[in-house]
Structure 1
Amino acid sequence: MTLALRPEAGRRDTGGTAGRALRGLIFGLSVLGSGAAGIAAFGPQTAVAEARVSIDEARDMAGVLLQQGRAREALLLAEGILKGLPDDVAALVLKSRALRDLGRFDEADRVAGTARARANAGGTDKDRFFAALVTAQAKASDGKKGLAQYWLRRAAEIAPDDEMKAVAVRDFRYVRSTTPWQVKLSLFAEPSDNLNGAPKTNEFSFAGLTFTNTAAVPLSGMRFGGDASLTYRIALGEQSRINLGATGGIERVRFSQSAKDKVPGIDAADYSRDRLGFSIGYEQRGAAQDWLGSAQLSVSRYWGGGMHISDAVRLDLGYARRLAEGWTGSVRLAYEDETRMDAGQRSAVTQEASLTLTRHWDKSALSLSLGGADIASDSRLVDRQSQTAALKFARTAPVMGLLPSVTLSYAAEDYAQSPFGWWVDPRQDEEWGLSVDVLLPKMDYMGFAPEVGVSFRDRRSNYSIYETQSTDLRLGLKSVF
């Protein structure tokens, strides 16, 4: 029996029968994988009867054949539709998917590009979504997983409903998990009333004398910058891998006019900060995914005001485990050797330890972190011991379209000596901090949503010159999947 397509004038609908045919494809990447599916070719044509089907029925049949792994037959049907309707987006999408399942990835990508062009020229949101989706599938199957992630973010952005967006997000996470390269980017802008970390008062009394530093006043303005990290993951087995990483960050400030009036001639370039680092790490997971151990060795270089400030070598060890239903715990140890280039006496060796306990509920989480550090240095401005504590509550499911988190922190620092000599009391600082951050996932673009935060910090010391107070507003972008 042979099939003859019966054109239907004026019909170009991807929301009805054709929509159902395409919806059958969106179980996509994470289910079908990246190779060619099983193929059942047409056998010899021995029947002489002819069956006539409509364009919509042919689209539907092609979608069913693809679900059954019969990509060659689906390809013939899609090409038959395109002979009569060369601009039919649904048929182009079906053809691209069939070519992809047959292992003809370059052809699948080219046809997906044609589908995108036709959809952008006058198609519906569903047309554009499916065209982006098959583009991602073709590129992922061809090993171009970075580009596939871009097109899946694009598909999620233009998805006409939550169901289709969820499919694109799911496939994005699957592709990311199988991609050796991982890139993370973040941007931020922070209006602040104390960019320079100035003390609460610029007057200081010592040995009966009062000293005044006219430049030690809080200066308002904007702090802004960005961070980027690139990780290459090498799988050693199902539960272990090696991570090779590179990180970088820049931070700049812009002083307000009032700050410039307070300290004439102040140069924002003197407050710039830059860093660059490289790392190698190892991760091992439990077979039941109930624990994770890690070790990482990193080297970093820091610049301040355009000058090389310091180099550091750091070793981090971590272990996290599910303790009980809804409970997780983690411990981290670190050792760092920092060599200062601007003032050699301030070089330091730091040893750190921290413990975190987290309680998880269905839509929120509460964590308590405790830590301590010993910083050994020849400089009495650096040599100290510190203790930290932080309590954080975060929503893990949106409430009124928002994902808020609140963190209360405390830090105590005990210096080995006073900055003014061994004959007076050593310096002791205490600092309280409160921060509130709100992620706006409903306002995302291609998976990146704005995040707004405000933080308050108050440091007290037995030497007033080190007492500071600041309020910062944070504006940033964060990936929501």
Structure 2
Amino acid sequence: MQARVIAFITCLMAQSALAQSTVDIPIDQARAIAARAVRSGDVQLAQEIARQLLSQDPNDRTALLIIAATASQSENPTEGRTAGARAWRLSQTDTQKYEAARLTALAAAKEERFTLSTFWLRRALTVAPNDAEYAQTIADARIIKRRNPWSTHFGFSVVPSDNVNGGAEGTTLTAPGNPTGTLSDDARALSGIRASFSLRTQYRLHENKNSRSTVGLQYSGARVRLTEDIDIPDDAFDTNSTEFSLRYDRALPHGNLGINTSAGVSDYREATAGDQDVEFQKYDIGRFGLSYQTPLADRSKVAFVARTEQLSYLEETIGDVQRNTLSMSYVHALSSGDSWHVSISATDSVGDSVNYTSNAMTVQGGYNWKDPIGPVTLSVGAGYTRTDYPDYRLLYPVTGGRSDDTLFYNIKVGFPDATYAGFTPGLSLNRSLSDSNVSRYTRDTISVGITLNSAF
């Protein structure tokens, strides 16, 4: 067995076939010769030796690694990737697995299979031997991410809530100019468990030093399991939203311009207490937006956004809603690495139904700490929204119109010590308190979610 390998080696290395003879060389020495060939850049010799070793032992881990290590310089990176993956399965220690995972990622990148390359770099992170290797793998993963035309993000949470439906705090319906009434069960705050899922994937169609265009698909959905003893089916609170988008970004002399358009559909359900049947409802979505972002200083930037959207409801009593929004934001990074931001936005909505015609103004801000505070990372935000519905009506027009004042805040906590494969788990707390002259919309909503943030 060894003689066949060495005979092949001596033939490859010979200056003159007549000046050489076949010599038995141990397999370990053949591996060492192949490894030296890799280091010296003799890819062909290294691969030929490795293939001969594998022909006699398909589980020769060293030979598999040599095939993987030379994949980026060969015409067959797929062979290198499959060899690296097999070497991973044969590895016995974390150090061996780390080596195999990185080489497999390199081969996948050579194939331009960047998502698969990222997967193997995440595997490498789980077995990185030290902080320096971990940091290097993170840096490599960020490079691969920039090269990858695909970008995908997802979120998932299952959390208890004392207001899964965004219902009112009380049971009495009051509004200026209208008689006092009683809210239906589905209009009151209901306790339960809310599960939500979101997926956003984007593909880069083209990119150069001045411009980039991308196409994307977004989906979000929610399901509710009520914990209260109430005669309303759980699926009355099902929601789904799907949207297809196209975006173009261009670098200008003093900033960046973005153009975005999207179309989609969102569906929800309507139900009446005591009736187990739910009615399917939906609205079509069309959006168009412009954005401009420019730096003000070394660590500051300002952004302006103008957006218009058309919502077309299946429910004829609602009809169409035209909504226009203008916003401005400012972000500043401190020398410590911390950052803070503020923004203001104004939204004007005009609907076929007077109850969907409104004006809203929102101001908000937030602060993000770069370094952990003890065992956690932290960011906070808060804001205020004022919304006026000038012609809102119930049985009769609401005197002076409906007015809502909403305070909201959020706290996001990350747990870097629990990071795995480049993902850091965290918790998010969101709370909003709304006060309205129409009691149906006076509510206190708290939600707690589990987050998973990627380092790249």
Using the size of structure 2 for normalisation, the TM-score is 0.85
- Structure 2 CA distance for aligned equivalents of residues 157 and 474 of structure 1: 25
Q: Does 1:462 align with 2:437?
A: yes
Cα gap change, 1:204/1:449 in structure 2, threshold over 3 Å: closer, same or farther?
A: same
Unmatched tracts of structure 1, length 5 or more: 7-40
Decide which moves more: 89-98 or 242-251.
89-98
Cα gap change, 1:155/1:217 in structure 2, threshold over 3 Å: closer, same or farther?
A: same
- Partner deviation per Cα, 1:187-226 (whole Å, 9 max, x = no partner): 1223211112222222134658431225143211121121
- Structure 1 CA distance for aligned equivalents of residues 178 and 352 of structure 2: 28
- Structure 1 CA distance for aligned equivalents of residues 94 and 354 of structure 2: 64
- Structure 2 CA distance for aligned equivalents of residues 117 and 93 of structure 1: 12
Q: Is the 8 A contact 2:177 2:399 kept in 1?
A: no
- Partner deviation per Cα, 1:259-290 (whole Å, 9 max, x = no partner): 22xxx211110101001111111112358xx7
State the identity %. 23
Unmatched tracts of structure 2, length 5 or more: 7-11, 270-278
Q: Report the counterpart of residue 341 of structure 2 in structure 1.
A: 367
Q: Report the counterpart of residue 170 of structure 2 in structure 1.
A: 201
| Residues 305-344 of structure 1 aligned to structure 2 (within 5 Å) | 305=269, 307-344=280-317
Decide which moves more: 394-403 or 310-319.
394-403
Q: Does 1:160 align with 2:134?
A: no
Q: Is the 8 A contact 2:71 2:110 kept in 1?
A: no
- Partner deviation per Cα, 1:105-143 (whole Å, 9 max, x = no partner): 232123223312211xxx110111111111122222123
Cα gap change, 1:418/1:183 in structure 2, threshold over 3 Å: closer, same or farther?
A: closer
Q: Report the counterpart of residue 38 of structure 1 in structure 2.
A: none
Please, which of 380, 399, 413 is the counterpart of residue 387 of structure 2? 413
Q: Does 1:273 align with 2:239?
A: yes
Q: Does 1:211 align with 2:186?
A: no
State the 1:372 CA deviation.
Answer: 0.6
State the 1:348 CA deviation.
Answer: 0.7
Decide which moves more: 206-215 or 371-380.
206-215
Amino acid across the alignment from 1:198: G
- Partner deviation per Cα, 1:48-95 (whole Å, 9 max, x = no partner): 899x99999987886676466442344466568879997553443233
Amino acid across the alignment from 1:113: A
| Residues 44-123 of structure 1 aligned to structure 2 (within 5 Å) | 44=15, 66=38, 69-75=41-47, 87=59, 89-119=61-91, 123=92
Q: Report the counterpart of residue 23 of structure 1 in structure 2.
A: none
- Structure 2 CA distance for aligned equivalents of residues 94 and 163 of structure 1: 24
SS at match of 2:391: coil
SS at match of 2:82: helix
Q: Report the counterpart of residue 360 of structure 2 in structure 1.
A: 386
Please, which of 404, 407, 416 is the counterpart of residue 432 of structure 1? 407
Q: Is the 8 A contact 2:390 2:400 kept in 1?
A: no
SS at match of 1:363: coil
| Residues 446-461 of structure 1 aligned to structure 2 (within 5 Å) | 446-461=421-436
Please, which of 245, 251, 254 is the counterpart of residue 285 of structure 1? 251
State the 1:376 CA deviation.
Answer: 0.8
Q: Is the 8 A contact 2:138 2:455 kept in 1?
A: no
Q: Report the counterpart of residue 155 of structure 2 in structure 1.
A: 186
- Structure 2 CA distance for aligned equivalents of residues 348 and 147 of structure 1: 43
Q: Is the 8 A contact 2:177 2:397 kept in 1?
A: no
How many residue pairs match? The answer is 433
State the 1:480 CA deviation.
Answer: 2.9
Q: Does 1:356 align with 2:329?
A: yes
SS at match of 1:93: helix
Q: Report the counterpart of residue 29 of structure 1 in structure 2.
A: none
State the 1:340 CA deviation.
Answer: 0.7
Q: Is the 8 A contact 2:178 2:398 kept in 1?
A: no
- Partner deviation per Cα, 1:132-189 (whole Å, 9 max, x = no partner): 1111222221232222221122122222222222232222222221122222211122
| Residues 115-264 of structure 1 aligned to structure 2 (within 5 Å) | 115-119=87-91, 123-205=92-174, 209-215=179-185, 216-256=187-227, 259-260=228-229, 264=230
Cα gap change, 1:344/1:462 in structure 2, threshold over 3 Å: closer, same or farther?
A: closer
State the 1:353 CA deviation.
Answer: 0.9
Please, which of 357, 360, 373 is the counterpart of residue 399 of structure 1? 373
RMSD after superposition: 3.2
Q: Is the 8 A contact 1:90 1:127 kept in 2?
A: no
Cα gap change, 1:90/1:329 in structure 2, threshold over 3 Å: closer, same or farther?
A: farther
- Structure 2 CA distance for aligned equivalents of residues 323 and 55 of structure 1: 64
- Structure 2 CA distance for aligned equivalents of residues 411 and 208 of structure 1: 25
- Structure 1 CA distance for aligned equivalents of residues 331 and 209 of structure 2: 27
SS at match of 2:153: strand
- Partner deviation per Cα, 1:392-427 (whole Å, 9 max, x = no partner): 111234333422111111100111223244572111
SS at match of 2:217: strand
SS at match of 2:236: helix
Amino acid across the alignment from 1:301: V
SS at match of 1:408: strand
SS at match of 1:345: coil
SS at match of 1:96: helix
- Structure 2 CA distance for aligned equivalents of residues 239 and 175 of structure 1: 20
SS at match of 1:294: strand
Q: Is the 8 A contact 2:155 2:451 kept in 1?
A: yes
- Partner deviation per Cα, 1:427-456 (whole Å, 9 max, x = no partner): 111100111111223323333332211122
- Partner deviation per Cα, 1:1-43 (whole Å, 9 max, x = no partner): xxxx99xxxxxxxxxxxxxxxxxxxxxxxxxxxxxxxxxx968
Cα gap change, 1:269/1:404 in structure 2, threshold over 3 Å: closer, same or farther?
A: same
SS at match of 2:355: coil
Q: Is the 8 A contact 1:109 1:139 kept in 2?
A: yes
SS at match of 2:247: strand
- Structure 2 CA distance for aligned equivalents of residues 399 and 219 of structure 1: 36
Cα gap change, 1:67/1:278 in structure 2, threshold over 3 Å: closer, same or farther?
A: farther
SS at match of 1:381: helix
SS at match of 1:219: coil
- Partner deviation per Cα, 1:357-402 (whole Å, 9 max, x = no partner): 0111243210001111100113222101100011111123433342
Cα gap change, 1:251/1:117 in structure 2, threshold over 3 Å: closer, same or farther?
A: same
SS at match of 1:92: helix
| Residues 7-46 of structure 1 aligned to structure 2 (within 5 Å) | 44=15
SS at match of 2:353: coil
